[in-house]
Amino acid sequence: DVIGLIKSLKHKDFVVRRHAVWALGNIGDTRGVEPLIQALKDEHVFVRGAAALALGLMRDVRILEPLIQALKDTNLYVKSAAALALGNIGEPAVKPLIKILKDKNLHVQAAATEALGRIGEPAVDSLIQVLKDEHIFVREAVALALGLIKDVKAVEPLINALKDNDKDVRISVVEALGKIGDVKAVEPLINALKDKDAVVKRYVVEALGRIESEMAIEPLIQALRDKNLYVQAAVTAALGKIGEP
């Protein structure tokens, strides 16, 4: 029962405490919210991380601020768990998640990216604003999140980002445009076939194959002459997709 589980949060064995945290999250009884918020301060990282994820399962206004505070935890697992949990809250979590996108740890950043992707449309405007961030890894993560959301509002800003100086950012931007699938991106992607980096070109070809616009057929046929075998193989696959009835 809920009362018994709340008592178990004080057990000396962290495994018992963690099981109690998970159980309270799964039951979803609001009596568990305050005790789970307290568990965010548990001495053991696995209990704190589990508490963050369990709170993410609760639909309760009280959880927002404690989860934002948990983003400052010294442990990467706890920070990542808090970011993922905030993805269930929606619009109020957008600003703190965009802030944590700037975390240098890839796991934390990936969790924030996934969370923003889950929030969806309410996160788009804020993400677009950060698409020109000075940090390469932030621009890359923003493009990935916009690709997860697939909102056409992001197409124009992503098209502008095709000129980014960093190839990894350009790859993420190209992938996002391919996932969104808007025909407005076809011509800019055709121009991006001239990218000097073979890996970027391969992603451009795959994105054009995904969008399946007949406008891309002729430029892709030209790209069959590319000296990179991976680009050639991607072109063949893309033409096959576009040519399918």
pLDDT digits (tens, 9 = 90+) for 14-55: 999 999 999 999 999 999 999 999 999 999 999 999 999 999
Mean pLDDT for 167-195 is 98
- % of the chain residues with pLDDT over 70: 100
Name residue 13's amino acid. D
- First-to-last alpha carbon distance for the chain, in angstroms, is 58
Total tally of structural domains belonging to the chain: 1
Mean pLDDT rounded to a whole number for the chain: 97
Q: Give domain status of residue 177, yes or no.
A: no
- Distance (Å) of CA 37 to CA 69, 79, 202: 11, 15, 47
Q: Give domain status of residue 28, yes or no.
A: yes
CB atoms near residue 28 (< 10 Å): 13
- The pLDDT of residue 5 is 97
d(CA 202, CA 231): 5
CATH of the domain at 101: 1.25.10.10
pLDDT digits (tens, 9 = 90+) for 185-225: 999 999 999 999 999 999 999 999 999 999 999 999 999 99
Q: Give domain status of residue 110, yes or no.
A: yes
Q: Give domain status of residue 5, yes or no.
A: yes
Q: Which residues contact 60 (CB under 8 A, 6 or more apart)?
A: 30, 33
Q: Tell whether the model's pLDDT for residue 104 goes beyond 90.
A: no
Mean pLDDT for 99-121 is 94
Mean pLDDT for 47-76 is 96
Q: Give domain status of residue 87, yes or no.
A: yes
Could you tell me if residue 73 is left (phi over 0), alpha (psi between -120 and 50 degrees) or otherwise beta?
beta
- The pLDDT of residue 54 is 98
- The pLDDT of residue 69 is 98
Mean pLDDT for 2-15 is 98
R_g over Cα of the chain: 22
Q: Give domain status of residue 85, yes or no.
A: yes
- The pLDDT of residue 57 is 96
Q: Tell whether the model's pLDDT for residue 245 goes beyond 70.
A: no
The answer to whether residues 208 and 200 touch, using CB atoms and an 8 Å cutoff, is: no
Tokens for 77, please give them: 């697992």
Q: Which residues contact 98 (CB under 8 A, 6 or more apart)?
A: 112, 116, 123, 126, 127, 130
Q: Give domain status of residue 180, yes or no.
A: no
Q: Give domain status of residue 240, yes or no.
A: no
Q: Which domain holds residue 10?
A: 1-119
